[in-house]
Chain A
Amino acid sequence: ETGVTQSPTHLIKTRGQQVTLRCSSQSGHNTVSWYQQALGQGPQFIFQYYREEENGRGNFPPRFSGLQFPNYSSELNVNALELDDSALYLCASSSPQVPTEAFFGQGTRLTVV
């Protein structure tokens, strides 16, 4: 059984650019959630995908968007990057049997300069 994997682990972008982060869910999990974790804060829910559809969204602007693919992997896209977007982005997958038990990836550290 493979765990949740995210890529890349780190990246640096310039303000105004666009970024795509990737996540492979754990085997058998069809639900993927994305979280943003700013320094010194707990993770904050961005959105969740279930069977390739957005299933719920937190308080994030539309420039944060996502996709889920038939193999349940997922992407997080952020347009028009702002300095405040600098954070650790966490992906979590869960099974349909226990949707609230989230298995997290190691995260992608995004720095916007």
Chain B
Amino acid sequence: AQRVTQPEKLLSVFKGAPVELKCNYSYSGSPELFWYVQYSRQRLQLLLRHISRESIKGFTADLNKGETSFHLKKPFAQEEDSAMYYCALSGSGYALNFGKGTSLLVTP
């Protein structure tokens, strides 16, 4: 069975502080992992995917197969990073299995 766990419902950090949004997954095969973001009044959009190994808006995420984690990190948080973040897994090649999301609030 596929499962994505985001343990924090809400994460509040100060501007300029490092941020880490946690994501753990369970899947028996080799999954594709994603982070999606939803800014206020905007639609859900892809932030990054593990296979591309990119840094988007200063965010990075490394797939740790041993710990079955895909944590999202940014060294210096900005106020515009405040949003809802969802970790998602695709094991089948078509369906995305989302976590419940973490609301990130960056305060000045």
A2 within 8 A of B: no
B interface bracket (residues with beta carbon within 8 Å of A): 20 to 34
Q: In the complex the two chains form, what is the Cα distance from A40 to B99 in whole Å?
A: 11
Residue ID in chain A nearest B42 by CB atoms: A106
Q: In the complex the two chains form, what is the Cα distance from A50 to B95 in whole Å?
A: 12
Binds B, one of A10-18, A64-72, A96-104: A96-104
Chain A residues near B98 (CB-CB < 8 A): 35, 42-44
Distance of A88 from chain B, by nearest CB (Å) = 10
Chain A residues near B97 (CB-CB < 8 A): 45
User: Do the beta carbons of A43 and B49 come within 8 Å of each other?
Assistant: no
> If the complex has contacts A40-B100, A45-B97, are A100 and B43 also in contact, measured as CB distance less than 8 A?
no
Interface size on A, residues (CB 8 A): 27
User: Do the beta carbons of A104 and B96 come within 8 Å of each other?
Assistant: no
A55 within 8 A of B: yes
Chain A residues near B96 (CB-CB < 8 A): 33, 35, 43, 45, 92, 100, 102
User: Do the beta carbons of A99 and B100 come within 8 Å of each other?
Assistant: no
B34 within 8 A of A: yes
User: Do the beta carbons of A99 and B94 come within 8 Å of each other?
Assistant: yes
Distance of B93 from chain A, by nearest CB (Å) = 6
Q: In the complex the two chains form, what is the Cα distance from A100 to B99 in whole Å?
A: 16
Q: In the complex the two chains form, what is the Cα distance from A20 to B98 in whole Å?
A: 24
